[in-house]
Amino acid sequence: MLRHLILLSSCILAFHLVPAQQKPNVIYIYADDLGYGDLSCYGATKIHTPNLDKLAASGIRFTNGHCTSGTCTPSRYALMTGQYPWRKRGTGILPGDAALIVPVDKITLPKVFKQAGYSTGIVGKWHLGLGDSVAKNWNGEIRPGPNDVGFDYSFIFPATADRVPTVFLENRKVLAADPDDPIAVDYTKKIGDDPTGAEHPELLKMKSSEGHNNTIVNGIGRIGYMSGGRRARWVDEELSSTFMFKALQFIEDHRKTPFFLYFALTEPHVPRMPATRFKGASGLGYRGDDILQLDWTIGQLMKYLELSGLKKNTIVIFTSDNGPVLDDGYQDGAVSMLNGHTPAGPMRGGKYSALEGGTRIPFIISWPTHIAPSISNALVSQIDLLASFAHLLGQKVPAGEAPDSEDHLQTFLGQADTEGRRILVEQGLADPTAIVEGNWKYIHPHPGPPLMHAVGIETGNASYPQLYNLKDDIGEKNNLATKYPEKVKELEALLERVTHK
Ligand code: NG6
Ligand code: CA
């Protein structure tokens, strides 16, 4: 907090030093598991998010904005590469010791900016793997990683807050690593002496509801085992402010050149363990408290941009990597304290789901000097940011690369009354089963379970075809497949064509 105030006051002093620049700065803020209905600007009434509401009111609030997938790794892969994740094996939810899955020799979103002369940075959750194998040395330099796919600067945690190793990495190296206490990670068997949640549930400050019973760090059972690195392990309550400080520092350091910052927040992903001052603040349990913490963070960031004179020429994009989930494996009160809140808004399904709740998420773009406040119902997807920013910055996408990224710059900037994408494939937990074309949505029959019991979410899987008219039926309640068999056939063929090209 103190340091933040120092940063804020230092940028007040530096206000007059900001050079005029043509190219806009771009900050891409990625929430983790935030649902369409989690923000008051998207209709939430049980929780109030004034800072995001303000951001939305200053720019375009998309009502039909999508990530590509119902989980994190594939959505992030698509964002980075402009390729639908299901085209490449190994893009499902990654363990914390996975190797890097983003190709180092192909165009990426940050490379588009780098080529255009930007300083590029990532702060926050990565979850796209590190190094070239599972067996990597966490005590030396780890490469390849974010710094090898387009980021000049990286301050990340490797996977998710519930997966070991629970450490930060800054530019390839674990922060506060100690050669006398080397870090080892294993996802197959217990290593080291740290107690596990399975053996010692009495040591947990938050119990698991499913899994999450391997190594205990800060009283929270994780997925995977780690030993060593005691000095380097983060404290969960400091995760969010640490990322915020590093993000502000990156901006401060690069304020004189155009910059691209990928700010990947950890809220409201499990384990939800907000800073102490947010605990209890929402009345909806830690999930709600996490959302308030996230909203506060955005408020600080925007205040910082304003005070530093950067706000006008900075494009801020705010969105989420997949739909919402309540009980995602910890007993944190998300279900018992829900109080009538509807995280997916009017949509059916949520995280892991091919229904709209899985991939239709908050999507806000603000650029004070170029975008007039509006609400857009155009179909837009994060996968198109790569090609769209390439257009904005006059960069070429090499032939055959970023194959699924389409240029929708005009739609993203509200420069024309365009409808955005014509076709979008939606992926739930695994297979790409759903396709949207205009107002129609088709979900192909799938043998998976219709309900993911552990999380209480409808997956969209059914043994029969589903056809919905999203214009009249955003909640996907009225299956029109038997009424319009020709439409089913047409969209089934289209899904087949798109996914097998
Ligand atoms: C699941 C985890 C869940 C979460 C998810 C990944 C269990 C029981 N569930 O396997 O807690 O970590 O993976 O979430 O372990 S994501 O947003 O990164 O895709
Ligand atoms: Ca996620």
pLDDT digits (tens, 9 = 90+) for 362-388: 999 999 999 999 999 999 999 999 999
- In order, the DSSP letters of 437-453 are ETTEEEE----S-SEET
> Does some domain include residue 200?
yes
> Does some domain include residue 175?
yes
Per-residue model confidence as pLDDT tens digits over 448-457: 999 999 999 9
Residues 407 and 427 grouped into a single domain = no
> Does some domain include residue 93?
yes
Per-residue model confidence as pLDDT tens digits over 149-198: 999 999 999 999 999 999 999 999 999 999 999 999 999 999 999 999 99
Q: Is 156 exposed, middle or buried (0-12, 13-18, 19+ CB in 10 A)?
A: buried
Per-residue model confidence as pLDDT tens digits over 199-218: 999 999 999 999 999 999 99
Range of the domain at 476: 423-499
CATH of the domain at 221: 3.40.720.10
Name which of 138, 177, 151, 145 is nearest 28 in CA terms.
Answer: 151
Hey, how many other C-beta atoms are within 10 angstroms of the C-beta on 273? 26
Helix (H, G, I), strand (E, B) or coil at 123: strand
Under 8 Å between Cβ of 239 and 264: no
Hey, how many other C-beta atoms are within 10 angstroms of the C-beta on 67? 28
Q: Which of 160, 225, 331, 361 to mutate to test the pocket of ligand 1 (most atoms within 8 A of CB)?
A: 160
**Ramachandran region, residue 97 (left: φ > 0; alpha: ψ -120 to 50; beta: rest):** alpha
pLDDT beyond 80 at 4: no
Residues 359 and 467 grouped into a single domain = no
> Does some domain include residue 221?
yes
> Does some domain include residue 16?
no
Please list, residue by residue across 108-138, b when 16 or more beta carbons sit within 10 angstroms of its beta carbon and e when fewer do. bbbbbbbebebbbbbbbbbbbbbbeeeebeb
- Reading the block at residue 102, the tokens are 């983003």
Is there an atom of ligand 1 within 6 Å of 92 CB?
Answer: no
Helix (H, G, I), strand (E, B) or coil at 287: helix
> Does some domain include residue 20?
no
**Which residue type is seen at 121?**
G
pLDDT beyond 70 at 33: yes
pLDDT of residue 5: 45
CATH of the domain at 473: 3.30.1120.10
Residues 303 and 445 grouped into a single domain = no
Report the alpha-carbon angle 218-222-223, nearest 5.
165
Q: Which of 30, 33, 69, 71 to mutate to test the pocket of ligand 1 (most atoms within 8 A of CB)?
A: 71
Residues 108 and 140 grouped into a single domain = yes
Report the alpha-carbon angle 8-13-18, nearest 5.
95
pLDDT of residue 22: 83
pLDDT of residue 30: 98
Q: Please report which confidence band the pLDDT of residue 501 belongs to, taking 50, 70 and 90 as the band edges.
A: confident
pLDDT of residue 418: 80
Q: Ion ligand 2 — residues with CB under 5 Å? A: 32-33, 72, 321-322
Helix (H, G, I), strand (E, B) or coil at 460: coil
Per-residue model confidence as pLDDT tens digits over 421-458: 999 999 999 888 999 999 999 999 999 999 999 999 99
Helix (H, G, I), strand (E, B) or coil at 349: coil
Residues 356 and 211 grouped into a single domain = yes
Residue 377 phi/psi, 5° resolution?
-100, 10
Cα radius of gyration (the chain): 22
Average pLDDT score over the chain: 95
Report the alpha-carbon angle 499-125-232, nearest 5.
145
Share of the chain above pLDDT 70, in %: 96
Is there an atom of ligand 1 within 6 Å of 141 CB?
Answer: no
First to last CA, the chain: 51
Hey, how many other C-beta atoms are within 10 angstroms of the C-beta on 104? 13
pLDDT beyond 80 at 16: no
**Residue with the nearest Cα to atom 3 of ligand 1?**
328
Under 8 Å between Cβ of 471 and 448: no
> Does some domain include residue 484?
yes
Per-residue model confidence as pLDDT tens digits over 77-97: 999 999 999 999 999 999 999
Q: What's the number of CA atoms in the CB half-sphere (13 Å) around residue 235? A: 7
Helix (H, G, I), strand (E, B) or coil at 191: coil
Q: How far is ligand 1, taken at its centre, from the CA of residue 325, in Å? A: 10
Residues 179 and 318 grouped into a single domain = yes
Residues 407 and 445 grouped into a single domain = no
Cα(155)–Cα(166) distance, integer angstroms: 13
Residues 79 and 128 grouped into a single domain = yes
Is there an atom of ligand 1 within 6 Å of 162 CB?
Answer: yes
Cα(16)–Cα(39) distance, integer angstroms: 35
Query: Ligand 1: which atom is nearest the Cα of residue 210?
Result: 8
Q: What is the mean pLDDT of residues 50-74?
A: 98
Is there an atom of ligand 1 within 6 Å of 211 CB?
Answer: yes
Quote the DSSP letter at residue 38: G
Per-residue model confidence as pLDDT tens digits over 234-264: 999 999 999 999 999 999 999 999 999 999 9
Query: Ligand 1: which atom is nearest the Cα of residue 454?
Result: 8
- Reading the block at residue 446, the tokens are 């799938």
pLDDT beyond 80 at 20: no
- Write down the residue that tokens 């600067």 correspond to: 153
pLDDT beyond 60 at 15: no
Residues 468 and 349 grouped into a single domain = no
Residues 405 and 436 grouped into a single domain = no
Query: Ligand 1: which atom is nearest the Cα of residue 125?
Result: 18
Which of 391, 412, 433 marks a domain boundary?
412
Query: Between the CA of residue 303 and those of 132, 260, 295, 307, 455, what are the distances in Å?
Result: 40, 18, 12, 6, 37
> Does some domain include residue 8?
no
Is there an atom of ligand 1 within 6 Å of 327 CB?
Answer: no
**Which residue type is seen at 17?**
L
Residues 184 and 211 grouped into a single domain = yes
Is there an atom of ligand 1 within 6 Å of 38 CB?
Answer: no
Per-residue model confidence as pLDDT tens digits over 291-307: 999 999 999 999 999 99
pLDDT beyond 80 at 14: no
Q: Which residues contact 441 (CB under 8 A, 6 or more apart)?
A: 356, 426, 434, 435, 466, 467, 468, 469, 470, 476
Which of 412, 435, 454 marks a domain boundary?
412
**Residue with the nearest Cα to atom 16 of ligand 1?**
72
The answer to pTM > 0.85 is yes
Cα(363)–Cα(321) distance, integer angstroms: 10
Quote the DSSP letter at residue 303: H
Q: Which of 32, 225, 266, 328 to mutate to test the pocket of ligand 1 (most atoms within 8 A of CB)?
A: 328
Residues 404 and 427 grouped into a single domain = no
Share of the chain above pLDDT 90, in %: 94
Per-residue model confidence as pLDDT tens digits over 90-134: 999 999 999 999 999 999 999 999 999 999 999 999 999 999 999
Query: Ligand 1: which atom is nearest the Cα of residue 211?
Result: 8
Q: Please report which confidence band the pLDDT of residue 3 belongs to, taking 50, 70 and 90 as the band edges.
A: very low
pLDDT of residue 21: 53
**Number of structural domains in the chain:** 2
Cα(444)–Cα(434) distance, integer angstroms: 6
Q: How far is ligand 1, taken at its centre, from the CA of residue 221, in Å? A: 13
Name which of 382, 304, 292 is nearest 5 in CA terms.
Answer: 304
* Reduced 3-state DSSP string for 52-106: HHHHHHHCEEECCEECCECCHHHHHHHHHHCCCHHHCCCCCCCCCCCCCCCCCCC
Which of 363, 389, 412 marks a domain boundary?
412
pLDDT of residue 1: 42
pLDDT beyond 80 at 140: yes
